[in-house]
A and B are shown apart, each in its own frame.
Chain A
Amino acid sequence: MTITRRAAIAAAATLAAPSIVRAQGAAVKIGMITTLSGPGGYLGADIRDAFQLAADTGMFGATKVELVIEDDGLKPAQAKQIANRMLKSDGIKLFTGIVFSNILEAVAPDVLEEGAVYVSPNAGPSSLAGKNCHRNYFVISWQNDSLHESAGENATRLGYKRMYLLAPNYPAGKDAITGFKRFFKGEIVGEAYTKLDQTDYAPEMAQIRAANPDAVFQFHPGGLGIAFLRQYQQAGLVGKIPMVLAAPSLDATTLGAVGEIATGMDVTSHWNSDFDNAANKRFVAGFTERFKRMPTYYASQGYDTALAIAAALKSANPGNAEAFRTAMLKADFASVRGAFKFGANQHPVQDWYGLRVEKGADGKLALVTKGKVLTNHGDAYAAQCKL
């Protein structure tokens, strides 16, 4: 609901380089195109804040970087214009930040054609993971399907035989259902596609009750998920029909907004705030202290993206894409999710965990890691990628 929903943040965070100044002198510009306005705005804000945190706490070492941030307003056309300006007028060679797959699919071809590098902190659409993979395109988060494949595997492991699936009627929603089915072994008793801008799910609740499945899998990210869970409870389904979710449908922010309702729900994720490794502890403590809120997994990905870029920048400049690529592929950084490496299509190969919403020692609800669901999981498209 705006004219073209373009809000730009001119704030460029420049890092004061410590004692050693590099021979080149000039800072490396990083273009961050992300979604900051509208209902999905908090996702981009988390990625931006975590990236900024990494930069401000010296993770880039001696490399000077300048972060140029602009809001795409979740409009593909808008994002393309920003990318165009950054590429042509600002001479930026390294891009990151995009939250949503449809924006990425619109922007990536432009960026890659110009010989620039894109490092994805969130979206990993299948169209860019298989035969259209690209040497200058890296994904730090996941291939989209993995989120839902892990949920499917989790549902199988939890012993559910009859599942009801729901997702919004758009490509990412359809991919979610495909991904879930790929790893779920039982029977699907019903599938429903909701409207993309729908916030009232009463009809769907009634259909779920009528189908009476063992459990429900639903994919409704952000604000949609809040409304869905709340209405699930009001329909008296919480406690009757369990829910299996992928990370986007229940993150730290949505958990804060729905509260008690989510108790006992099963979520799968590649990262959680309670992961016991030094990098993660530093990240969670630093983020909570500076921004006064719990980091979501989006934030963890923004942070990891900054670390991955920082590690590559130590030995190469994005101006030389091939050298930068070689440096990126080493993935020589301590990821907050523990082990991290790139697969053949430059998407992650990583472990997936089952989490459950439980009350912690402090009486607050939190996502608690229960165990590994998938180990060294890549994606179904890597085999089609020839680099």
Chain B
Amino acid sequence: MVRRYLAALVAIALACLVPAVAAALGKPDLITLGTQIAIYAIAAAGLDLLIGYTGLSSFGHAAFFGLGGYTVGIMAFHAAGEKMFGVIPGLTEAWLVWPLAIAVSALAALAIGALSLRTTGVSFIMITLAFAEMFFFLFVSLKTYGGDDGLGFRRRNGIPGISPRDDVAFYYVCLTALVLVLALLHRVVHSRFGRVLQGMRQNPRRMEAIGLATYRYKLTAFTIAGGVAGLAGALHANLLRFVSPDMLHWTMSGDFMIMVVLGGAGTLIGPVIGAAAMVLLQSWLAQWTEHWMIVMGPILVFVVLFARRGILGLFR
């Protein structure tokens, strides 16, 4: 156990060094890459609570990611212009907007989950996909918020004491968020609640037989994962100062699933490794060849066939 905590501390320390390394190499864009990894890792870790621990294959996780992002975008839009519906003022302060984004996504997850969890297996995969697609088309047709073109805003959300233009500071903000989310999820999966979730994944009938309301447990997990994705979406919107329906597209849901499975589902640290592997692999392959997908595709197939427990599984 002590070794685990030590390893985690070393990993955090290494992650803290990224800006210094980037500066030394004269490649400041590495900081953006690192920020991107941290943000995707947050969303993927949340999804892992469903895929890896609860056995729920949600194919609509991008909906919550996008909702979190759009909460930031829309609040910034109204802060710069008219009030929403003429009454609700916009917001730009991170300590107000980010919790709002988490709340919006968690509420949406609660509603979608309440309906979707009545199904199981493949039907569950498809119904979560259906809800995500509905949100996708909703934002495509909302002309006020840019429709398909997306919505840009000028400034990142304000955090007292931090310049909104400072990329290094924003990297540390995202890294802190990632560490906090992982700590939270760690506590969740090691609580009684978490053990019930894992029990349901392994043997749902037994859990029902001993009198547990599995539906409520699943719904709670689904809502937590949705809220976590909302936070990731809010950070992503801040990174780019831009939101677009791309964030809610089904390929984005697919990406999150890939990150979880690629890194190793059911491990929490796996999705972080998966997110890093995917962002870095794509970045390097794309600089190497225009036809990077012809390499990326087979890599995914090989991972599934030969690295059954993801990248993390290779080291165990």
Measured CB to CB, the residues of A under 8 A from B are 1-4, 6-10, 36-37, 71, 75-77, 80-81, 84-85, 88-89, 101-102, 105-106, 109, 169-172, 174, 196
Contacts and interface: CB of A to CB of B under 8 A. Distances in A.
B290 A7 contact: yes
Nearest to A174: B143
B50 interface: no
B282 A196 contact: no
A196 B141 CA distance: 10
Contacts of B220: none
Contacts of B291: 7
Given A9-B290, A76-B246, A101-B149, A89 B26 contact: yes
Nearest to B300: A3
B278 A109 contact: no
Contacts of A102: 148-150, 244
5 contacts: A3-B296, A75-B246, A76-B149, A77-B244, A105-B152
B119 interface: no
B158 interface: no
Interchain residue pairs A-B with the least CB separation, the first 6: A102-B149, A85-B29, A170-B148, A7-B290, A88-B28, A89-B29
Contact of A2 (B242, B287, B293): B293
Given A3-B255, A105-B152, A81 B246 contact: no
Nearest to A74: B246
Interface in B271-289: 278, 282-283, 286-289
Interface in B122-174: 140-141, 143, 146-150, 152, 154
Contact of A77 (B26, B240, B287): B240
Q: On chain B, which size bracket covers the interface?
A: 35 or more
B242 A80 contact: yes
A36 B289 CA distance: 13
Contact of A88 (B29, B152, B288, B289): B29
Contacts of A4: 255, 282
Contacts of B255: 3-4
A84 B246 contact: no
Given A77-B244, A89-B27, A169-B147, 7 more contacts: A4-B282, A6-B286, A7-B290, A75-B246, A80-B242, A88-B29, A89-B28
B292 interface: yes
B290 A36 contact: yes
A80 B240 CA distance: 7
Given A7-B291, A102-B244, A170 B149 contact: yes
A171 B145 CA distance: 10
B240 A169 contact: no
B240 A3 contact: no
A105 B32 CA distance: 20
Contacts of B288: 10
B240 A105 contact: no
A77 B255 CA distance: 15
B147 A170 contact: yes
B72 interface: no
Nearest to B283: A6
B244 A76 contact: yes
Contact of B29 (A76, A84, A169): A84
Contacts of B283: 6
A143 to B, nearest CB: 16
Contacts of B258: 3
Contacts of A174: 143
A174 B286 CA distance: 34
A80 B149 CA distance: 14
Nearest to A36: B290
Nearest to A102: B149
A49 to B, nearest CB: 14
Contacts of A172: 149
Contacts of A10: 287-288
Contacts of A71: 290
Given A85-B29, A89-B28, A196-B148, A6 B244 contact: no
B111 to A, nearest CB: 26
B120 interface: no
A8 B292 CA distance: 9
A7 B148 contact: no
Given A3-B258, A171-B148, A171-B149, A76 B242 contact: yes
A36 B242 CA distance: 22
B140 A8 contact: no
B251 interface: yes
Contacts of A8: 286-287, 290
Nearest to B293: A2
Nearest to B22: A89
A169 B138 CA distance: 12
Nearest to B31: A88
A8 B283 CA distance: 9
A171 B147 contact: yes
Interface in B1-57: 26-29, 32, 36
B242 A170 contact: no
Contacts of B147: 169-171
Interface centre among B148, B150, B282, B286 (most CB of A within 10 A): B286
A169 B242 contact: no
Contacts of A6: 282-283, 286, 292
Contact of B286 (A7, A80, A105, A196): A7
A75 B27 CA distance: 23
A105 B292 contact: no
